[in-house]
Chain A
């Protein structure tokens, strides 16, 4: 194993690869020359002002995106002493400790699992590395509440484990450990994907430089690779921590009380909804604290390559006698994370089919889910275009404001956005209360960055010169947009559509609170049946959900890279 297939890149004649730079500023030495360039132009560029229509569209999108948080703030500010009493009775401190404790435990587990897996798959001669790269990412398609109930089916005295191993006493799984298991098993792919992308994007000459300076491989990993990977690990950890803090389904089914669960209980049980608003704001504060922690963890170094030279692929490290033990370990993770939910769901599904369960409600739920999710994806794309255009083509106050406000929903748990819209509709817009358009708008607020980011990235790489060339050939701005810009960014548009669609399909709390009475999606169907222990009925919609999510995820896993994911966050 002296040379891998990638050793070809050792040759002189490999073309230089330069990576896209998010800031649009040339990297390395050319940064120094920028002033000269300006002097050379001789005259300041004419200031470009945002076209009125575009400006209005951006303001509209921002206003809608900011509505939930502003409305919650207003409600909380006007809260009565009584409402505060209720909140304080809930023992908020304990809720915070429980929520953060779960987030910390799951994040740590995911990093401990995801980083070594990524290293094995990307940098070693692990058997079947390519297959594992896909398999290990797949558990991401299992929504937390589906995973939670699928895991529950394995435990307990009449669970699958007892049957398979002929045991009499198997404990049920619930509470902290149940939530920890379900969330860790189905969110570690975030860390895995981001760390793998980080490892792939790492300039191998940095590790080589370390070797020529006298550091053996192990030291080089510790002194160079790991520190360079830190922002990627932090980004992956952030996604996991936010997921846990936002999660409503798994913790509810596992009966582990966190903020989201307490908010839901408050909302359902109390006549006065103000305490729920106050708790929601506290949860938002927790999410913001996590975002801030991640910013700190990234440190002050900037992680792009300072030179412009050729990019070489690193050689895969031969594992030698550790090759098959590593294979066994990686297979175990894949088997548990994929096998556990699939087997129990299929088992329940077959049992249900034998019992002759009516398929009509499932079909209705599927139609409902696809229609609101598709509408949400389309509306999100329509909202993303003005935001992405302004933030890439007209930098300024408006661009920054639009960018930031489009991220607000991303930091907000679905439950919180849903509550805000419930309050707002019930009090001010009764014609919207419990209507499908409100569900769709909530999706847009929640998932806007997923649609904006691919577009923004593509527009940044798309030279404005192309658009200027179109203008100089006598086309109007609108015509250039239609005939030049849109065709060139059609792939990221589709990626954004797919991302929002899949996420909306899985969305539970907002759909649960905002849907019209009697309207079901696959997610609400799974939840309502699983929460009353009707696992056989829940199995069919759960399997459908996983099947629907898997296709687009495959597409996405191919285009996920660090830059992309790191950008899906406020700066």
Chain B
């Protein structure tokens, strides 16, 4: 990795719970000031990774280093309260016996009103200082949880599925608020999510996790356009995987040819995003429309080729002629990526 000093480094973290392997060789590097999304399906070990970094679980193997200091490995154990790593819990875990001020001030020494007031203002919680947690709306509880974690000025903040408890409308709004709050306090943060849209839209870099380890890490653009394998491709956006064969540096598929410079001849798969396929109603076409999912601003047309492959096509705007049963022709239009078989 280049640029920026490394704030968090996880090296080969492993953790099993009985027979279940939660983490297996988990590596992660987070630079100062960035917002990293840990994206993966549920059950892939994302939450366990956060809990290991926060010091709430012991690793079976591997190490966690914060600002170059080892906080956990085979010989070292720094308890959570001395790691300077804040954690926003999935269910927020606000102390039900303390009001908003009490919650935010919890991690501060004494009761410095100035700092609490500052955090409340930053999190737009003024006026709610003496409400009890159960008297707050979901979005407000979320902001209290974040303000509480940020108040002691931790080196790193971890957020566990921070938006999953909010309904869809609120989510987009709270998302940008959280991003703004993290920027305002120039806090480094890692957040866990299974929602690819969430991961791509607000993070600086995305770490895609599958089966207990990070498969690929990069900018949202990188992981979307150049996934290292089919698993990552499916996790980040929708993906058509079309069979192809390479001959002379060209991968030939039913949708068109894709350059494959330097790759050995043989079978392969081509990753084609639904928005990179051109579709047209064509009585002599080789594919048929199976059904159409209409979303308003765009639609997903699910087709099947003569070879029996399924291809999804994303189109902007309504297209009345593309209905189930229509015969269409499909053609590769934009970027595609050859994945070695």
Contacts and interface: CB of A to CB of B under 8 A. Distances in A.
Interface of A: 2-3, 5, 7-13, 27-29, 31-33, 203, 205-206, 208-217, 223-224, 227-228, 230, 299-310
A203 B134 CA distance: 15
Interface stretch (B46-54, B260-268, B293-301): B46-54
A228 B148 contact: no
A205 B43 CA distance: 19
A228 B96 contact: yes
Q: Range of interface residues on chain B?
A: 35 or more
Contacts of B44: 12
Given A3-B57, A11-B20, A205-B93, 5 more contacts: A214-B107, A301-B97, A301-B98, A304-B96, A307-B141
Given A10-B22, A308-B165, A212 B96 contact: no
Contact of B57 (A10, A27, A228, A303): A10
Identify whether the interface residues of A are mostly helix, strand, loop, or mixed. Answer: loop
A566 to B, nearest CB: 15
B95 A206 contact: yes
Contact of B137 (A12, A32, A208, A216): A32
A521 B141 CA distance: 57
A215 B152 CA distance: 12
A186 to B, nearest CB: 32
8 contacts: A11-B45, A12-B44, A205-B89, A212-B81, A214-B82, A300-B132, A305-B96, A310-B91
Given A3-B58, A206-B93, A223-B106, A212 B134 contact: no
Interface in B74-133: 79-83, 85-87, 89-98, 106-107, 132-133
A304 to B, nearest CB: 7
B99 to A, nearest CB: 9
Identify whether the interface residues of B are mostly helix, strand, loop, or mixed. Answer: loop
B71 to A, nearest CB: 12
A13 to B, nearest CB: 4
B24 to A, nearest CB: 13
Contacts of B43: 11-13
B134 A302 contact: yes
Given A211-B80, A307-B141, A8 B48 contact: no
A-B residue pairs, 5 tightest by C-beta = A309-B91, A307-B91, A29-B138, A213-B107, A13-B43
B279 interface: no
A13 B194 CA distance: 12
Nearest to A301: B97
B91 A212 contact: no
B165 to A, nearest CB: 6
Contacts of B79: 211, 216-217
B324 interface: no
A29 B96 contact: no
Given A10-B57, A29-B165, A300-B132, A212 B92 contact: no
Contact of B166 (A2, A29, A206): A29
B247 interface: no
Contacts of B80: 208, 211-212
